Amino acid sequence: PQLANQIAAGEVVERPASVVKELVENSLDAGADRIQIDIERGGATLIRIRDNGCGIVKEELALALARHATSKITCLEDLESILSLGFRGEALASISSVSRLTLTSRTAEQKEAWQVYVQGREQQSTIVPASHPVGTTVEVANLFFNTPARRKFLRSDKTEFAHIDEVIRRIALAKSQIAFTLTHNGKIIRQYKSAVEKSQILKRVSAICGEDFVQQALAINWKHDDLHLSGWIAISDCSRSQNELNYCYINGRMVKDKVVTHAIRQACAEHLNTEQSPAFVLFLDLNPNDVDVNVHPTKHEVRFQQARLIHDFIYQGVSNALLSAQQ
């Protein structure tokens, strides 16, 4: 099983930032509204994610580290309608197979917290009592300590941390009501306060995407049946600077999807002149039955039941926003 875990880790755990993504998604799935991310040395020596979510009961702590152990789906029908960010039960098993992982957790019903520790190949976990408020802390030390070939591919601390920062930016954009703190080598680098009202949300968008983006942004709010497209699109003449700011989320999950991207591009190509390029943060929400997110382990890709319909819907939503701005 250990070899299988390490092979799976190759797909899910590319670098420290992928560990951070999986662990923060677990915290979100656990209903946390405060998540602290502590990083040492670009994540090579330590990644620690602390949340105030529901916690894991003592009996399930060791199980959480086992491959294909997920508490999020219990039957095949669930797989058809996934709203949680995780569902494959691979992340913790994969990460623990290539690091020294400590999982500490406490549920509201338990008086005390419990902790398990596993290290790479051994995968023998012992459970000990610990001190922890309701919620979960996952500590990943010495990532890739037992896979030197992988460790060699780690870039500088600065580069790896920049990737982590980007992961948190992307998540923080979609989860504005959640408070995030990101530290590196003991220093607070980002602090996103919980944002509920529109002005607070715009403040977070501005912190992440820049004040320019917020100033220029056209709000999109486009609905049809159970499809909903929302977010912002900004047109800049200085195309280069905002080229990277192309964020698209489907049911709260950041994806790179050809159908969505093509629809946005097509709308922009028709309504803008060639020197202009769009920066956007767009959220598409639809019935989870109409989209398959189980296409790839990293879950960056999706497959729509009715790609054409989705394409046209997005095209219309974006076109409408661009046209109304020109009037």
Tell me which residues touch ligand ADP (CB under 6 A): 22, 26-27, 29-30, 51, 53-56, 64, 69-72, 86-93, 136
Identify which of residues 43 and 86 has a Cβ nearer to ligand ADP in the complex. 86
- DSSP assignment, residue 53? S
26 binds Mg ion (CB under 5 A): yes
Identify which of residues 5 and 176 has a Cβ nearer to ligand ADP in the complex. 5
Q: Is 225 left (phi over 0), alpha (psi -120 to 50) or beta?
A: left
Percentage helix, strand, coil for the chain under 3-state DSSP, each rounded to 5: 40, 25, 35
Look at residue 18 and give the partner it binds from ligand ADP, Mg ion, none, a contact being a CB closer than 5 to 8 Å depending on partner kind.
Answer: none
Identify which of residues 96 and 277 has a Cβ nearer to Mg ion in the complex. 96
Paired with 291 in beta bridges are: 304
Stretch that binds Mg ion, among 83-91, 121-129, 140-148, 238-246 (CB under 5 A): 83-91
136 binds Mg ion (CB under 5 A): no
Stretch that binds Mg ion, among 21-29, 54-62, 153-161, 258-266 (CB under 5 A): 21-29
Contact between residue 173 and residue 208 where contact means Cβ atoms under 8 Å apart: yes
Contact between residue 246 and residue 280 where contact means Cβ atoms under 8 Å apart: yes
Q: Regarding beta strands 277-285 and 246-250, do their DSSP bridges make them parallel or antiparallel, or are they unpaired?
A: parallel
Identify which of residues 194 and 294 has a Cβ nearer to ligand ADP in the complex. 294
86 binds Mg ion (CB under 5 A): yes
Closest residue to ligand ADP using C-beta atoms: 86
91 binds Mg ion (CB under 5 A): yes
Contact between residue 64 and residue 55 where contact means Cβ atoms under 8 Å apart: no
CB of 44 to ligand ADP, least distance (A): 21
Identify which of residues 92 and 118 has a Cβ nearer to ligand ADP in the complex. 92
Q: Is 55 left (phi over 0), alpha (psi -120 to 50) or beta?
A: left
Angle between the N-to-C axes of helices 157-174 and 16-29, in degrees from 0 to 180, rounded to the nearest 10 = 30
Q: For binding to Mg ion (CB under 5 A), which residues are involved?
A: 26, 86, 91
